[in-house]
Structure 1
Amino acid sequence: MNLYLKNKTITHIFLLILITSCGTSGSLNELIEKEEEIFIKKTNFKSGINQFPSEINIIITNKNQSQEQILEGIFANYFYYKENKGYSPKIIIQYINLNSDRSKCAVDLKSSNFTFLVVSEKDFRIPVKCRNLFQRLNGIQILTGEAQKINGTRLYPFEVKEGNKEIIIDHARLSNNNVIILDQKKDKNKIEIENLWISSGGIVLESEKIDLQNITEVIPRNLFIDESQKRQKKLRNLIRTSLEVTPRSRQDADALILSTSLSNARSLKPSLEYNYGERISVYLIPTWNNVEDYKTKELDLEGTVFIEMPWIAGLNPDFKLNQDIKRNRDFAVGYDSYEIFLLLSSREKVNYQGLSGKITTSQSMILRQDILIEVKEGEILPIGY
């Protein structure tokens, strides 16, 4: 069901926020203003939405920008259902201060409420005095960055990690066998891509960590252009005659996988063509630690296939969003988390195409899948999930 929301009125909502920090707690009325203009395929719930929970908990473990943006996404979807469906449960928010031994956990939280636990820290541990409460909670644990799944709870893990590499590897392997891998991230990321390609039956010809200081040398070196030029020079010296010879790039490579930022990809793809590698297919796994936006025309990425969140790529027709809303991945995760809450509350099958990708469930896990995209004539076009 496609719904078009164009709400030019500013929605005012007062949230009861209960914050526990350093052993103190209190309530705070916070005024939040939102203006939404969203075209999105929303869930058509079979059961009455007003029968859903009347209260929900949100537990945050950090007051950093990431968790703030996740909250903004949750609130944005909250406002949608408030304005269009009349559903507005009371929201109780609690902050757990991991740096304080006096931090209380059970203040004003009902374990019977649906709970969002937002975690972005790599080493998050449930405080000892909080364990009994956490074991009784039902809901979602939203895990971003390097946060690990928290065991011993009834909270569905929603792990939002950078790039579903299996999807793009499987797609690339449909028509390619021999690959060159160029990666600017940590070594374990490059090794993971190598292992996925090899386990699928492919051959890794070269695998290199990108030296950002000498990025212009990466493509010629891996296509053996340097070797070709050395042979030409040797031949010229031997026959003592000037030669006009086109350098010969390697012919055994079918595909190039780039695991890098958008700006680097926009340099490396044209470099591939300049160095006589235009027949090689290019696949991109964008890094998440950059704040670059996709261009209206991605001419430098022509022909490239990549994976991305639909919200970040700005895809139509499924997602047409107000340009005034800042596109970031944490917002998309928060928005989808609220939709997941509604789906779980309705006890309907979770199969939702959201801002962060395709959302499904399997064995008490919430799974997210990026969308495959191809650049054709500069246009960003979805291939599918």
Structure 2
Amino acid sequence: MHPDWSELAQQIKSWGLELGFGQVGICDTDLQAEEPRLQAWLDAGFHGEMEWMASHGMKRARPAELVPGTLRVISVRMDYLPEDAAFASNLADPDSAYISRYALGRDYHKLIRSRLKQLGEKIQSYVGPYGFRPFVDSAPVLERPLAAKAGLGWQGKHSLLLNRDAGSLFFLGELFVDLPLPVDTQANDSCGNCVACITICPTQAIVAPYTVDARRCVSYLTIELQSDIPEPLRPLLGNRIYGCDDCQLVCPVNQAADVSAEADFQRRPVWLNKTLIELWQWTEDEFLRFTEGSAIRRIGYERWLRNIAVALGNAPFSQKTVDALQQRSGSVSDLVQRHLDWALVQHRAKQQKLQWQQQNLLTRQTERLVRVIQKGLPDHA
């Protein structure tokens, strides 16, 4: 006797909420409509150095090829907005280090995958042995189109998933199953005429609505890119050393974002009020210790220093910053050294400009003083 699939679908959603997910939806595996868009994006080279985006061909859009027998995808979201909603306040301080909000707590991959596995096991207790497999950024999966099909939201013009009640500050995960569950209704695009995300992007990486050139995206440049950050883009990174939230911060839908109750996603104390110089001076052992269990560790110590060198180059001139850069010169990898040298060039230029401005100010003050003195002298002087 077959289970009541509709009843099971409702039970799955209830279990999902109990496990800490903000929402659970179900969809089929048909992503044919996404294949031309995916191919065009790859053909344009927008994936940059992320060769894994192209290496699986169209399998990314074909869940049943990735996991044979898959009939449905259970898509989940888990909110990560902290109780401290002022997490982005240091973006305006060029001497502080800005880290994308999602990375300030525990690495979400293992946590969500564990919860998905538990969800799969709960389903198994209901239907008996069946095929299931959880994914969290761990395989070629088009998670956003799947989540949209499952009714979790719509893809915004910045390509992230948006939800009317939760904004975009959440993680996604998927559970592939071989069960003929009823599917949910896909959400409609609700961005309207808004282009706030396109306008705010510091590197203009959103080259068209719904299309991101990853090669220009700050998140790609600071996390995925393994080689040199292109020089023309370095000044645009500002103090962002790991990821970027600008398109989410400006999005009006995020005014309704849910606060996360997940303790692991709250900001770790180590990231509170950290200056660029403090982080630049970390040893590799300190980097590994302080980033244990964090998504930040995935970029490694070398790219960590590369990113901070760029941010230091973008900071206002100070002798303290120059000294900190020079103290590490010659003791870092070639990759870091190239960015360190660039940062020093920026500070020399800023110092010269500052000196010129000070000299110009002194000259104007002197000229003004001379005019005052001359005006006050007797006619026969």
TM-score above 0.5, yes or no = no
Higher strand content, 1 or 2: 1
Higher helix content, 1 or 2: 2
Q: TM-score, normalised by structure 2?
A: 0.20
Structure scoring higher RCO (CA < 8 A, sep ≥ 6) equals 2
